[in-house]
Structure 1
Amino acid sequence: MQEFIYFLHTQGNPCACTVQLWEQKPRAIRQPSSQVLVLDGRGHLLGRLAAIVAKQVLLGRKMFVVICEGINISGNFYHNQLKYLAFLCKRINTNPSRGPYHFRAPSCIFWRTERGMLPHKTRRRQAPLEGLKIMRLKPTHKFALFGCLAHEVGWKYQAVTATLEEKRKAKARLHYAKKKLIMKLKKQAEKR
């Protein structure tokens, strides 16, 4: 049974989410809790968000990161594109199927960044990484968006996630209107 779910979204201030994430707990206690934290990736910087998520996962919390397409990477888009295209060329000469694996989806790129911040090479140390789930919901600046970068290096589903996000927003608007009507009727019933 999950106790709390937090939806965190702060435009342009990636460190503001640490205020609600940290709880006062003794450092020595690392028991897995049933608490699930849901983070909205929009507007956060890649490394800072990954560091915060890594710390929470190591403390035993379960994390969900959604809308990875909106995560910002510092530096302009062209520079980040060149860096990632250079990374795509790296492989093992004798058997390229052994790695390194080059992910194209923004959620997988974020997962790989997260894995680099966690000890993961033994079975015991893979447990924190299993507590992390990353979801895709939606796909001129000093920041490069994950969705645009992933699309340029081979991710094929940017248009699909955009249409799915529009459908989700339409459903959410209907649900919210229905909820407001129900709340209004409840208040009227309580007055009588």
Structure 2
Amino acid sequence: MIIDGDGHILGRLASVVSKKLLDGENVVVLNAEKIIITGSTDWAYARYKQRLDRASISNPRRMGPKYPKRPDDIFRRTVRGMLPYKKTSGREAYKGLKAFVGIPREFLEVETSIVPEAKARDIKKNTDLGEISKLLGAKF
């Protein structure tokens, strides 16, 4: 299944993708930088910045937990949180997920699908995942 992430809400899309992964499907998500986070930009930036800061001060000898900055990696981490990742079934399901910034050459001619229950409708405050990533310092 190939999904175009443009205009989809992060949590709703991640929950649908995680269910499909647990069912044994392989899922590819394109345009991860255009996935929407609901809420103000300041709120979303503060939330992800707090995670990055927590990763650097927890233990100086063992830097972690590692939180991503790139939009495709943030989406993958969100999906991972919805899977039983510490079990074998969750790890195997997680291997079936691929997320990309933009559209790679091999997917230019392929027909993409949308997830109707994850599309944004009448949201006043929102920001793109790519914008948050740029504020966090990601280069993509």
> Into which bin does the TM-score normalised by the smaller protein fall?
0.7 to 0.9
State the AA in 1 paired with 2:25. R
**Normalized against structure 2, the TM-score is what?**
0.79
Partner of 2:59: 93
Partner of 2:121: none
CA distance in structure 2 between the partners assigned to 1:87 and 1:124 by the alignment: 27
SS in 2 for 1:126: helix
Identity across matched positions, percent: 35
Give 1 or 2 for the bigger CA radius of gyration. 1
Superposition CA RMSD, Å: 1.4
After superposition, what is the alpha-carbon deviation per residue over 1:67-104, rounded to whole angstroms, capped at 9, x for unaligned? 0000000101111111111111113325343x111211
- Are positions 1:129 and 2:94 aligned together? yes
1:109 to 74, 79, 101: 74
Partner of 2:118: none
Q: How many residues align?
A: 118
CA distance in structure 1 between the partners assigned to 2:132 and 2:67 by the alignment: 13
SS in 1 for 2:54: coil
- CA distance change for structure 1 residues 94 and 155 in 2, over 3 Å: closer, same or farther? closer
CA distance in structure 2 between the partners assigned to 1:125 and 1:75 by the alignment: 30
**Normalized against structure 1, the TM-score is what?**
0.58
- CA distance change for structure 1 residues 59 and 150 in 2, over 3 Å: closer, same or farther? same
Higher RCO (Cα < 8 Å, 6 or more apart): 2
Partner of 1:46: 10
- Structure ranking higher in helix proportion: 1
SS in 2 for 1:64: strand
- Are positions 1:73 and 2:73 aligned together? no
Residue 136 of structure 1: how far off its partner (Å): 1.4
- Are positions 1:155 and 2:138 aligned together? yes
In the TM superposition, structure 1's runs of 4+ consecutive aligned residues that sit over 4 Å from their partners are: none
- Are positions 1:56 and 2:39 aligned together? no
State the AA in 2 paired with 1:87. R
State the AA in 2 paired with 1:151. K
